[in-house]
Chains A and B, each alone.
Chain A
């Protein structure tokens, strides 16, 4: 049984011996091959034609610009062209195109987005950033997707790393990292006005204007408003989940002398809608469906400074402040402020030393008042201040005329919940020649405890009471025993660029989790006239996620591109044998599909007419009772004149309605995603 199998590599000493051995071997190899002159990687680039060179993607997945083919990790990049042709109206919808990412809509505001398993309303093991600003909220450990958006036309690229990215990006980058990077304002000079509407999209309007700031730089301002029409519940009744969002912001990029670059971004936003949660009345005698108005507002400012000291030494600083407020009118509210200072220094000495290191100090404080309406849960203490100190070190060494790359890195994070977390990675990439690369990686990553894990008191339900006239309540009670969840991940990948019309990418992974969030039912006791059955959090869960991801890109003609992707995920979760009694594991409240297939087609029928289609199959979520579904989205784009683009989108064509997810965590009432149509006009000037 796989579940009883222990990986010997999990012991630090064994790992240490292995790494010493590998490095010594490399050292000896290196001294022998040093004399050979030509550089494999560079030779590969020089032998490519211009069209092929134009397809070489550059990524900052490991915090410095690199060609994707040199990255020893599973990286996928959504470009702004992909975004334009996706017909998507929100960031989670855009992520649907990425192989291996599972995106499920819960309602118009809320999404479940995850990589390599554990998909939920709060996917605790996925780190999401926008321009280096963390979107991951430490309250429940996850991203509130209902507050995230931007002008999608101004996104330069979205870099998705499948697998642990914690050594570069920090705690909680356990199963993946999504890094949304907006365009330099230099690329958005001029105006853009766009409007779209349809049966679900009840009007999205955006305007952006970019201009030069003297000789020193460029800037842009933008504003966007959108409204989503309510969906329906599984019984056919309306879901009352209309969703409104307004935002306005700016970005400026300046060059201050030859050696300094600065960038300043800021935004304010509001969103509002409604959702329904399941809770109880104060006497716990009745189960209630609680309808909440959910007003959200916030803003942020991000500053980046970059200074080139010498040809080998580059230093960059980041500072941001983020404020966010959300309210569930009949439940509670959250106000959170975050300030963050970061610096990063890159020092390049030779083939063996391309050293990157940096540090972060992040301070976040919140306020979560106790609810006055119905009872769902509360946080104690209601306000909390937390600090994070973090250092990372990363080195990339090239051997064998750059055919072999070794990336070693470690990140030391100190947070208020679980103390010091050490997250190393060891990655190797070998170019086999003929545009084939083989890579392997071993990494550790942790998910730090959330405020919910430590401070929440949550009513899970009622239980039959043995004492007459005393109500029995099952209540989750967070406590300080909860430690971080840990992962050791082993990855193996292969990429082959067969020719300029065909590329293949396969990645296999084995993730071994320890200390997964579990709940143990404790001794009942009487408290203020109630019989409380406590459910106490612990780290008694174990897990193994094994999987395979395949992507193939085919370009049969210059005007037609196809992308086929398949991802397979096999999961096993169990409780430590010493703690099996009365213990459950939180993973059973969420689920990810075992199979996902996607086929995307982009056709340029004429230079002015585009036809795009996307077929996707998502297997069932057995733990949540969600059946499998197959859907088709199509888009027709037309450019009648040079600066104007018209498009028609149809989504979820194969079913009038289908459910994608059932949230068992906040117990949001779940909706069904309808077939939708919309039209869009975009004008550049």
Chain B
């Protein structure tokens, strides 16, 4: 066994003698990186970026508006008002729904401020951390479809709660609140929901 112990000393060649041209190896990647950043800055600001998860949530929101029947008071209007209180990136994504059609109505996206009036809205999207205490009651009273991606939102009285599961976006529905708000949700929507609170 002794030879095993001494072996590396005998066989051990040189560690230090390797000269490397780090400069040339760095050149190519740095070049790409620098140039890509240069382009980015030279073009300056364009429209704000939304990451694809927010786009996905917006696409869900758009679909939800197609599966809801509002009570008569709101049914015959020509416009569909979507109110949004969320982080600016989510807001930007939802704003891109403005002018599209849903159930023959033109969508109007309304960014909300604290003092905003909810009465006129058909749909309300609330981001995480944009809950106000009285918002659920106001939404029920005004027949508003509430949607949120905040954790456990349906348990807090939001009608549709979005969440990630198994790397896909899923949603739960609080049917109790929907019924209270006089909103009729299509059976197809209910079928696709993960959990139903009845």
User: Could you list which residues of chain A lie within 8 angstroms of chain B, going by C-beta atoms?
Assistant: 12-13, 15-16, 19-20, 23, 26-27, 30-31, 34, 39, 41-42, 45-46, 48-51, 53-59, 64-67, 70, 77, 79-81, 156-157, 159, 186-187, 255, 258, 282, 311, 348-355, 370, 375, 377-378, 380, 393, 395, 397-398, 406, 408, 410, 412, 419-420, 422, 424, 426, 455, 457, 475, 477-481, 483, 527-528, 530, 532, 534, 536
Contact = CB atoms under 8 A, between A and B. Distances in A.
A380 B8 contact: yes
12 contacts: A15-B28, A19-B28, A26-B39, A30-B43, A39-B96, A65-B51, A70-B52, A80-B166, A282-B1, A311-B89, A483-B18, A532-B3
B63 A354 contact: no
A50 B40 contact: no
B31 interface: yes
Contacts, number: 208
Contacts of A530: 3
A481 B13 contact: yes
B33 interface: yes
Interface string B25-63: 111111111011101111111111101110110111011
Given A53-B60, A370-B5, A527-B3, A479 B29 contact: no
A419 B15 CA distance: 11
A282 B43 CA distance: 72
A33 to B, nearest CB: 12
A56 B169 contact: yes
Question: 6 closest A-B pairs (Cβ-Cβ)?
Answer: A424-B29, A410-B29, A12-B28, A45-B59, A79-B166, A352-B40
B89 to A, nearest CB: 6
Given A42-B55, A57-B168, A349-B45, A19 B35 contact: yes
Interface string B57-81: 0111011000100000000000000
Contacts of B28: 12-13, 15-16, 19, 424
A27 B40 CA distance: 9
A397 B7 contact: no
B132 interface: no
Contacts of B93: 42
B56 A408 contact: no
Contacts of A67: 52-53, 55-56
Contacts of B167: 57-59, 77, 79, 156-157, 159
B32 A349 contact: no
A154 B26 CA distance: 42
A424 B59 contact: no
Contact of A349 (B7, B49, B87): B49
Contacts of B192: 50-51, 54
A77 B46 CA distance: 33
Contacts of A420: 20, 22, 25
A252 to B, nearest CB: 15
A71 to B, nearest CB: 10
Contacts of B168: 54-58, 79
Nearest to B25: A422
A66 B40 CA distance: 21
A559 to B, nearest CB: 14
B115 interface: no
B8 A27 contact: no
B187 interface: no
B7 to A, nearest CB: 5
A351 B8 contact: no
Contact of B40 (A41, A397, A532): A397
Nearest to A184: B164
A80 B167 CA distance: 9
Contacts of B170: 54
Given A23-B39, A375-B4, 14 more contacts: A30-B43, A46-B58, A50-B63, A55-B168, A59-B167, A67-B55, A350-B49, A378-B5, A393-B33, A395-B37, A410-B32, A410-B33, A479-B8, A480-B14
B39 A397 contact: yes
A457 B12 contact: no
Contacts of A480: 12-15
A479 B25 CA distance: 24
Given A527-B3, A536-B11, A16 B27 contact: yes
A455 B9 CA distance: 11
A527 B5 contact: no
A300 B111 CA distance: 46
B68 to A, nearest CB: 12
Contacts of B40: 349-350, 352-353, 395, 397
B8 A81 contact: no
B151 interface: yes
Given A57-B167, A58-B167, A351 B49 contact: yes
Contacts of B1: 282, 370, 375
B116 interface: no
A282 B166 CA distance: 55
A461 B15 CA distance: 28
B63 A53 contact: yes
Interface in B99-129: 100, 128-129
B166 A350 contact: no
A12, A51, A370, A483: most-surrounded residue (chain B CB, <10 A): A12
